[in-house]
Amino acid sequence: MKTYIVGNWKLNFTVGEASIYLHKLLKTLPNYRDLEVVVAPSALALQPLSLQVDRHKIKLAAQNAFYRDTGAYTGEISFAQLRGMVDFAIIGHSERRYVLREDDKMIAKKVAAAIRNHITPILCIGEIESERAFGETKDVIRDQLIGGLSEVSDDELSKVIIAYEPVWAISSAKSAKLATPDEVGEVVNLIRKTLMDTYGAKASENVPVLFGGSVNASNAGAYLTVPGVNGLLMGASSLILNEFVDIIEIAKRVRA
Ligand code: 13P
C-alpha cells in the first residue's frame, strides 16, 4: 500500500504564499514511487495551484466542500466544482465538527459527494479529551467511522482514506498532548476491526489509515512504524517547508 504524507494548511497562506510554497516544494521533491505527497490549501488557492502543480509529484486536496453538486447554497463550493482540480478532500475534520458544528449525517453526505465526483475522501475521526478520559474513545471512533461511511457501499470502500486525529493531540488544542505510538496503534486496530466487521476482510484490507496530531520531524518516524498506519496528516509542521520535506524524507526511509 502507498504511504500518504498530507499537509493540511488550514486557514493559512495567501494564494501568493501558497503558490510560492508549492513552487519550492516541486523543485525540492523527486518523483517518489509508493509515496503520495498531498497538500490541502485554502479553497481560494485550489484553482491556480491546480494549474501549477505536477501531479506526478504532489496532489491537491480540498479542506472541505458542500454535499450538493449545484443549487441555492450561498457561499458553498461543491465537489462537482472541484472535480478534476483536486484528487483528495479532507472531510469531517475536528475543526469542522466542533467549530462549524458538522455532524456525522452531513459528513456522510460529503463523503458520498466526494466519491460521486471522483475525489478521494480523507475521513477524519477522533475523540476529544473528555471522551478519552471517560473511556468513551471506542464508542466515539466506531460511531464516527460507521456514521461517516453510512452512504459508502462495499464496492466504494476502496475509494476512502481514514485519518485518526485525536482532537486532544492536535497542536491548536489548548493543552495539546502527544499521543503515544501505543495509543495510536490501539485506535488504528479498532478502526481496522470496525471496517472488517462492517464491510468484510476483503473490502477493508486496502483502506489506508493515517494518523494526525502534532506530528513533526522528530516523531514522524515513530508514528509511521505503528502497525496499520499508512501515512500522516499534518497541520502546523506542514506550514514549514523544510520540516515538511524532512518528514517526506523520513517517510521514504521508514517505509522503504
Ligand atoms: P497539527 O499537526 O497542527 O497538530 O494538526 C493536525 C491536523 O489537524 C491536521 O489535519
Bridge partners (DSSP) of residue 36 are: 4
All three cell numbers of 219, joined, read: 516523531
CA angle 43, 46, 50 (to 5 degrees): 170
- CA separation, residue 242 to residues 29, 96, 136, 140, 248 (Å): 11, 28, 38, 35, 10
**What single DSSP character describes residue 7?**
E
pLDDT of residue 33: 87
- The string of pLDDT tens digits covering residues 147-184 is 999 999 999 999 999 999 999 999 988 788 999 999 99
Examine the residue annotation and report whether 165 is marked as an active-site residue of this protein.
yes
pLDDT of residue 32: 87
Count structural domains, the chain.
1
Q: Does the beta carbon of 104 sit less than 6 angstroms from any atom of ligand 1?
A: no
Contact 192, 141 (CB under 8 A): no
- CATH number of domain containing 84: 3.20.20.70
CA dihedral 46, 11, 124, 4 (to 10 degrees): 60
Atom of ligand 1 nearest to the CA of 95: 8
Q: Does the beta carbon of 8 sit less than 6 angstroms from any atom of ligand 1?
A: yes
Neighbour count for residue 38 (Cβ, 10 Å): 23
Confidence (pTM): 0.98
All three cell numbers of 107, joined, read: 459528513
**What is the whole-number distance in angstroms between the Cα of residue 94 and the centre of ligand 1?**
10
Which segments of the chain are extended strands (E)?
3-8, 35-40, 58-62, 88-91, 120-125, 161-164, 209-211, 231-234
Range of the domain at 125: 3-255
> Which SS3 state, helix, strand or coil, does residue 100 take?
coil
- The string of pLDDT tens digits covering residues 81-102 is 999 999 999 999 999 999 999 9
Bridge partners (DSSP) of residue 231 are: 4, 210
Contact 90, 62 (CB under 8 A): yes
pLDDT in single tens digits along all 256 residues of the chain: 999 999 999 999 999 999 999 999 999 998 888 999 999 999 999 999 999 999 999 999 999 999 999 999 999 999 999 999 999 999 999 999 999 999 999 999 999 999 999 999 999 999 999 999 999 999 999 999 999 999 999 999 999 999 999 999 999 887 889 999 999 999 999 999 999 999 999 989 999 999 999 999 999 999 999 999 999 999 999 999 999 999 999 999 998 7
Neighbour count for residue 30 (Cβ, 10 Å): 9
Examine the residue annotation and report whether 23 is marked as an active-site residue of this protein.
no
